[in-house]
Amino acid sequence: MVSFTIHGIGVSGGIAIGRAQLVSHATLEVAHYAIPAAKVRAEVARFEAAVNEVQKELEALHGSMSGEDVPGEFGAFLDVHWMILNDATLAEAPKKIIAEQRCNAEWALTQQMAVLVEQFDEIEDPYLRERRSDVVQVVERVLKRLMGRPGALPAASSEEQTILVAHDLSPADVIQFKSHRYGAFLTDLGGPTSHTAIVARGLNVPAVVATHNARAMIRDGEILVVDGDANVVIVNPDRAVLAVELERQKLKRLRLKPADTLDGWHVELHANIELPEDLEQVMEAGANGVGLFRSEFLFLNRPGLPSEDEQFEAYRSVAVGLEGRPLVIRTFDLGADKTKDGLGGLVRVAPNPPLGLRAVRFCLAEPRLFLTQLRAILRASHYGNVRILIPMLASAGEIDQALAMIAQAKESLREQGIPFDPNVPVGGMIEIPAAVLAIGAFLTRLDFLSIGTNDLIQYTLAVDRADEAVSHLYDPLHPAVLKLIGTAIQSAAKARVPIAVCGEMAGDLRLTRLLLGMGLTEFSMHPAHILAVKQRVLTSDVARIRPIVDRMRRTDDPVKVAALLDRLND
């Protein structure tokens, strides 16, 4: 069977895998035949009977809607259909057409529908224009009655997930999903604001609409993957694609599950973001918060610098969007590989950029820029659960200077009467070996720590992380790296200072148990990794892992480290 992909508009998120079930489409199958004069009255009566039956059908559906799982808007949508059905333009006009043209009721009804649809197409307001599909759906329902095919959808298979493939579906069709338990649906027609789409979202059923001709391309019984997030339908996926999709579908179910290990350790899984737009992915992955907002990306790829207000808006939008979950904003880390031409030469081309004027060093050298950002972050703290994180700290002196700048930013806001959270927590990144070896200065001055393993590895092994020529030497499992990470986590735990890992190691499945065994309970990673890491956490037993990790931390032999890691991941 040929595998192919159909694109549409995902109007309701999630993934479903199942067999296609085609829904017949009465409007496309209407015959046109003449009615003898003597039978016109009977034909009109047949039309009236069909309208009456659909009326009762809608009323019965309305009456059966109770319970919390029915979306609130649904009653209103049915009322709209009931009103369209009872409007003279639909209930009366076709009777006149039957009498005048001596044609069958189905034909008369579709003729009248064409007139109405044309009128709707001329409406400017997109919401009202889309109500044309409600008219078509009501007509479709009456046609099915006239043609002797009542409106109920085919029964879903109880053994396999069924995916409905239709030219169009009405909200009344979609509500039947509740009792039939269809896995998903796709339609040729429809748009994001159609009532059908709104009901689908309310029922939490993945749906892709506006596929144009999916119904003509798909055959009954074919296997479909409907991905409402990616706006696609895969028809007859090959085994590899199916396996990947099944895994993704399985992982999605973990979204709301707390990440607890088998022996009851609760783990917080946070997301790393670069721009406010990333928030959607964060929420979709079910992250517990944002553990690292790399704010320097607001400064890159643009002319000039973002103003205080512009930064404030960006931080505030994420803080609000997280609905009380924590948002850790790292003050900008420019320099090294992330340079900014627009800084007007403020970041000079250093002879050795990673060891040069980067991150907090640059901020302290340019206090005006730093203060602007700190004020923007503090202002945003009034609107959510905001924390400040300072990158690349190496010494107590730098921490004190950064804290003094934060105090100064607070003071200036206070003077202007601008609200902010006076207790906003301030944390530091552990990215330089010196920070681990003299961690006491960090533990006494800061509210939390976050290990940036990307830089910690670079600086521990003296391997430029951006230089391909030495990338083979960049090794997260180097015994020295493991000792530094282990020490940092243990020291923070002893001092009761929260500590996270926010470098790439946090999102690497091979290393999840290693970090858990070191005592880490807070990970921050690209949102795409969160569900897979959660699954690993859920199947981990810290009591079994810990002695193996202790041995990994003690050895200086990389071969032993590799062997112990295999045991950990067995």
Q: Which residues bind ligand PEP (CB under 6 A)?
A: 292, 294, 333, 431, 452-455, 502-503
Q: Find the helix or strand (DSSP H, E) in which 9 lies.
A: strand 9-12
Specify the residue, 61 or 500, whose C-beta has the smaller distance to ligand PEP: 500
455 binds Mg ion, rule: CB under 5 A: yes
Minimum CB separation of residue 386 from Mg ion in Å reads: 20
| 294: partner contacted, choices ligand PEP, Mg ion, none (Cβ within 5-8 A by kind) | ligand PEP
378, 409 in Cβ contact below 8 A?
Answer: yes
Min dist CB 457 to ligand PEP, Å, is 8
CB of residue 508 to ligand PEP, shortest distance in Å: 12
Distance CA 379, CA 418 (A): 7
| 504 touching Mg ion, by CB under 5 A | no
Q: Let me know: does 334 contact 362? Beta carbons within 8 Å.
A: yes
Q: Are strands 162-166 and 15-22 parallel, antiparallel or unpaired?
A: parallel
Q: Are 211 and 8 in contact (CB under 8 A)?
A: yes
Number of amino acids touching Mg ion (CB under 5 A): 3
Measure the CA–CA gap between 503 and 525, rounded to whole angstroms.
7
502 binds, among ligand PEP, Mg ion, none (CB under 5 to 8 A by kind): ligand PEP
Q: Based on CB atoms, which residue is closest to Mg ion, 106 or 455?
A: 455
Q: Is 508 helix (H, G, I), strand (E, B) or coil?
A: coil
* 502 catalytically annotated: yes
Choice from 206, 306, 452, 527 touching Mg ion (CB under 5 A): 452
Q: Which is nearer to ligand PEP, 153 or 429 (CB)?
A: 429
Residue 453 interacts, among Mg ion, ligand PEP, none and using kind-specific CB cut-offs from 5 to 8 Å, with ligand PEP
Measured from the CB atom, the residue of 161 and 454 that comes closer to ligand PEP is: 454
CB-side neighbour CA atoms (13 Å) of 169: 31
Catalytic residue among 81, 103, 167, 195: 195
* H or E stretch covering 433: helix 433-437
Taking the alpha carbons at both ends of the chain, their separation in whole angstroms is 37
Burial of 563 (0-12, 13-18, 19+ CB in 10 A): middle
Helix (H, G, I), strand (E, B) or coil at 236: coil
Q: How far apart are CA 366 and CA 374, in angstroms?
A: 13
Segment contacting Mg ion by CB under 5 A, of 134-142, 220-228, 447-455, 514-522: 447-455
In whole angstroms, the minimum distance from the beta carbon of 337 to ligand PEP comes to 8
C-beta of 40 vs 343, nearer to ligand PEP: 343
**Mask: binding to Mg ion, 386-425, rule CB under 5 A, as x and -?**
----------------------------------------
Our answer to whether residue 195 is catalytic in this structure is yes
**Helices (H) then strands (E): counts for the chain:** 25, 17
Q: Which lies closer to Mg ion via its Cβ, residue 57 or residue 522? A: 522
Q: Cβ 566 to ligand PEP, closest distance in Å? A: 25
User: Of Mg ion, ligand PEP, none, which one does residue 410 interact with (CB within 5 to 8 Å by kind)?
Assistant: none
The gap from C-alpha 231 to its chain's centroid, in whole angstroms, comes to 13
Q: Would you say 193 and 215 are in contact if contact means Cβ atoms under 8 Å apart?
A: no
- Of the residues 167, 478, 502, 529, only one is catalytic, namely 502
- Among positive and negative, which fits the CA dihedral 238, 243, 248, 252? positive
CB of 453 to Mg ion, least distance (A): 9
Residues near Mg ion (CB under 5 A): 431, 452, 455
Q: Which residues are catalytic?
A: 195, 502
